[in-house]
Chain A
Amino acid sequence: MNALTTLVVLGQVAAGEVGSGRITGGWGYVWVSYGITWGSLALYALSLWLRRPTKNLTAGPKE
């Protein structure tokens, strides 16, 4: 009898622990990803700006 009640209690606890099957939260990952995206693209744009061709003919093609 005791074993049966224990099993019932355990069963109810287990049912409560099962989730909806969906990942909760995770906004941290989202912000890191978007941050990396915007950041890298901005950095690349900056590198393009810094490497822009100058009108000065005496400037060498390679630094």
Chain B
Amino acid sequence: MSRPAPIGLLRASMVLLRKDLLIEWRTRARLNALVFFALSTLLLFSFALGPDTKLLERNAGGYLWLAILFASTLSLGESFRIEAENACLDGLRMAPADARAIFLSKAVGNTLLLVLLGSLLIPVMVALYGVKVVLGVEHVLATLVLGCMALAAPGTVYAAIASNARARDVLLPLLLFPLIVPALLAAAKGMTLVLQGDPMNQLKSWYGLLGGFNLIYWGLGFLLFPRVIED
């Protein structure tokens, strides 16, 4: 009997990603919770900051990313909680696939969910805050994808840690928030430029910065994740 060939890294990641997306699609629990939570966050901002829509419109880029950040703590935590049932994570670890495939699949899955969330929030912001998308949809999407990737990579690593520790709901934001500040800064700046126009052509440098963060965060996550989930 021939030995089955070990499954490649990318193939394993795709299989795991498909599994996660299928579970998510069947229940849509996470997505629903995310959307409602982010919507209420945006509403709360408009209540807290007053009826002056000019102010809301000017800072809309920042509020969007804050809403995504807060929603991400729900989403990231949940992505590992579902593995806790029936010791699924142990099963995954013992499968003849690279542990880093788990990282890739989780991180990409989290990114996709956050990008989807962001795309749903933009039209809401157009309605609530009166923002206009000056630079076009492709720029909105680019900023969204880059920012969500930069959130999801360290978020996945920390979610894996926090899901096994005490006070996990406190630990994830406590660990994550300080560290993603530069990514959040760049994404918020970029989104503001996309929404309000970029007369001085600064957007490219912000994209460069976001690209750099993603390289470092994904690289670190890729290297360190296997140590996080090993027994």
- Is A in direct contact with B (CB under 8 Å) within the complex? no
A binding-site residues for B, Cβ under 8 Å:
none
